[in-house]
């Protein structure tokens, strides 16, 4: 057992405060990680404030973990002390399930979330990356390429894979026109990744305030969705649209921007049901789909791709003492483009 410092939510309405808790001693198949940085995901806020229900407190959030291996169990073969590693949204899954064999463990009922979950023993609550130390089964640890800075690489573990997986699955690449709705923490990764895959990328954002950044990230086109002319001009334009926003948008107007056989993928979670007129789908053999993070295999593939193309998130590095302010700013979309906690600040 190791006593670990971190920051925890103690109740849905409480700010995050310093805490200490125990991490297990590494077992033979475990990797022990000194956490250096942890990204701040909007879903951390939903869970810490129990907005999705079922929150268990105290809760140490954080599933965009980047760190350095400090010890390995006797049967670990893929990692050694000093390696740069990451941990994403889950730390275990049901290995009995046949789905495991096709690398879709993120969709399995036995998935163990990195925090606000329960370990395979059925009793120990999982605690996330807003902490200085973590012990994770080898099979759920990712290798971060050495050329990527660990702080800006941390958001790849959730924001990065959340965009990479649908872009890859629906074959974004040369000759494909891809639109990204929203240019926040998720959207800006989508622009970078789709561009690197060779697609022609368009950002659909409420205003043009982030246009310069969008073009720098690799977008070829940038439109304001507050301008009704955008929806006339772009009708039938895209092979693939990825919706990263949780707002309740005019779904039919967006689906109308798809070509015949085009697909719109939801990764943001709107509060209300999605009202879609059947004819906008039928009239173009279009698909409305959803996607959630990615498998361990695909996450490693994404990290290797990012290493090859030098892709990381654009981040604002914060001290952990500023986490509650950061949460308020994430809710206001006042971050360019992802907050990352410098875990060294825990020692201050
Ligand atoms: Zn996340």
How many angstroms separate the alpha carbon of residue 1 from the centre of ligand 1?
27
Q: How far is the CA of 246 from the centre of ligand 1 (A)?
A: 13
Distance 234 CA to ligand 1 centre (A): 30
* Separation of alpha carbons 282 and 210, rounded Å: 34
- Which segment of 25-34, 124-133, 245-254 scores lowest on mean pLDDT? 245-254
| Ligand 1: centre distance to CA 158 (Å) | 5
Q: Separation of 229 CA from ligand 1 center, angstroms? A: 33
CA 100 to ligand 1 centroid distance, Å:
21
Q: Tell whether 7 and 120 lie within a shared domain.
A: yes
pLDDT at 291: 98
Same domain? 270 vs 323: no
For the residues 211-225, what does the mean pLDDT come to? 98
Which residue, of 270, 290, 310, is where some domain finishes? 290
Are 27 and 138 in a shared domain? yes
Distance 120 CA to ligand 1 centre (A): 21
- The CA 125 to ligand 1 mean position distance, Å, reads 18
pLDDT for res 99 = 58
CB atoms within 10 A of CB 321: 14
298-to-162, 169, 197 alpha-carbon distances in Å: 10, 10, 15
pLDDT of 205 = 97
Q: Which of 249, 267, 290 is the last residue of a domain?
A: 290
* 182 and 277 within one domain: yes
Rg of the chain over all Cα atoms, to the nearest angstrom? 20
Question: What is the mean pLDDT of the segment spanning 55-82?
Answer: 97
Q: Are 6 and 130 in contact (CB under 8 A)?
A: yes
Residues 149 and 54 in one domain: yes
Centre of ligand 1 to C-alpha 140, Å, is 16
Q: What is the DSSP string of 57-86?
A: SSB-----EEEEEEEE-TT--S--TT-EEE
Do both 126 and 193 map to the same domain?
A: no
**Are 99 and 133 in the same domain?**
yes
Across the chain, mean pLDDT equals 95
CA distances from 106 to 76, 112, 306 (A): 23, 9, 21
Distance, CA 163 to ligand 1 centroid (Å)? 11
Which residue, 76, 42, 75, is CA-closest to 61?
42
* Predicted local distance difference test score (pLDDT) of residue 203: 98
Domain count, the chain: 2
229/148 same-domain check: no
Of 275, 290, 305, the one marking the end of a domain is 290
User: Phi/psi class of residue 190: alpha, beta or left (left: φ > 0; alpha: ψ in -120 to 50)?
Assistant: alpha
Confidence of residue 33 (pLDDT cuts 50, 70, 90): very high
> From the CA of 282, how far away is ligand 1's center (Å)?
33
pLDDT at 97 over 70: no
Whole-number Å distance between alpha carbons of 45 and 48: 5
Taking the centre of ligand 1 as the mean of its atom positions, its distance from the CA of residue 278, in whole angstroms, is: 31
Kindly give the distance from the C-alpha atom of residue 333 to the centroid of ligand 1, in angstroms, as a whole number.
15
**Both 248 and 305 in a single domain?**
no
Specify whether the CB–CB gap between 157 and 26 falls below 8 A. Answer: no
Distance 162 CA to ligand 1 centre (A): 8
Task: Write out the two tokens for 261.
Answer: 């056989």
Structure tokens at 336: 């360019």
Task: Point out the least confidently predicted range of 11-15, 64-68, 82-86.
Answer: 11-15
Tell how far the Cα of 89 is from the centroid of ligand 1, in angstroms.
Answer: 7
For the chain, helix (H) and strand (E) counts, in that order, are 10, 17
* CATH number for the domain harbouring residue 141: 3.90.180.10
- CATH code of residue 180: 3.40.50.720
DSSP-assigned states of every residue in 154-218: GGGGTHHHHHHHHHHHTT--TT-EEEEE--SHHHHHHHHHHHHTT-EEEEEESSSTTHHHHHHHT
Contact partners, residue 228, CB within 8 Å, separation at least 6:
none
Q: What is the pLDDT of residue 114?
A: 97
Percent of the chain with pLDDT over 70: 98
The mean pLDDT value for 320-325 works out to 98
225-270: pLDDT as tens digits: 999 999 999 999 999 999 999 888 999 999 999 999 999 999 988 8
Distance of CA 147 from the midpoint of ligand 1 (Å): 23
| Judgement on whether residues 92 and 48 belong to the same structural domain of the protein | yes
Ligand 1 center–CA 65 separation, angstroms? 11
- Domain of residue 251 covers 160-290
C-alpha 296 to ligand 1 mean position (Å): 15
Task: Calculate how far, in angstroms, residue 44's C-alpha sits from the geometric centre of ligand 1.
Answer: 7
187 and 120 assigned to the same domain: no
| 127 lies in the same domain as 68 | yes
> Can you tell me the distance from the alpha carbon of 201 to that of 186, in angstroms, rounded to the nearest whole number?
15
Query: Helices 185-196 & 159-169, crossing angle to 10 degrees?
Result: 40
Distance 82 CA to ligand 1 centre (A): 26
Question: For 16, which DSSP code?
Answer: P
CA of 71 to the centre of ligand 1 (A): 26
Strand 258-266 relative to strand 238-243: parallel, antiparallel, unpaired? parallel
């Amino acid at each position: 057992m190791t006593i670990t410092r971190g920051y925890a939510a103690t109740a849905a309405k409480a700010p995050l405060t310093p805490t200490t808790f125990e991490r297990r001693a590494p077992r033979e198949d475990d990797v022990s990680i000194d956490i250096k940085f942890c990204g701040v995901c909007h879903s951390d806020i939903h869970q810490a404030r129990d907005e999705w229900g079922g929150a268990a407190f105290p809760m140490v959030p954080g599933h965009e973990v980047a760190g350095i291996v400090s010890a390995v169990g006797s049967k670990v073969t893929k990692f050694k002390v000093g390696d740069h590693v990451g941990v994403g949204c889950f730390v275990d899954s049901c290995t009995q399930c046949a789905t495991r064999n096709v690398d879709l463990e993120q969709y399995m009922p036995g998935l163990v979330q990195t925090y606000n979950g329960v370990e395979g023993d059925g009793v120990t609550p999982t605690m996330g990356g807003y902490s200085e130390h973590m012990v994770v089964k080898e099979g759920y640890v990712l290798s971060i390429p050495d050329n990527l800075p660990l702080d800006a690489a941390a958001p790849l573990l959730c924001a990065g894979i959340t965009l990479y997986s649908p872009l890859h699955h629906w074959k974004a690449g040369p000759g494909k026109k891809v639109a990204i709705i929203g240019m926040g923490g998720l959207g800006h990764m989508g622009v970078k990744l789709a561009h690197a895959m060779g697609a022609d990328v368009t950002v659909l954002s409420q205003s043009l305030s982030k246009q310069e950044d969008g073009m720098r990230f690799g977008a070829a086109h940038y439109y304001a969705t507050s301008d009704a002319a955008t929806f006339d001009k772009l009708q039938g334009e895209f092979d693939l649209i990825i919706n990263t926003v949780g707002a309740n948008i005019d779904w039919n107007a967006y689906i109308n921007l798809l070509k015949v056989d085009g697909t719109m993928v939801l990764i943001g979670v709107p509060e209300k049901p999605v009202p879609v007129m059947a004819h906008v789908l039928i009239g173009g053999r279009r698909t409305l789909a959803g996607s959630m993070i990615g498998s361990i295999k695909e996450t490693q593939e994404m990290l290797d791709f990012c290493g090859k193309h030098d892709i990381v998130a654009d981040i604002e590095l914060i001290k952990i003492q500023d986490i509650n302010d950061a949460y308020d700013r994430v809710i206001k979309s006042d971050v360019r483009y992802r907050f990352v906690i410098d875990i060294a600040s825990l020692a201050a």
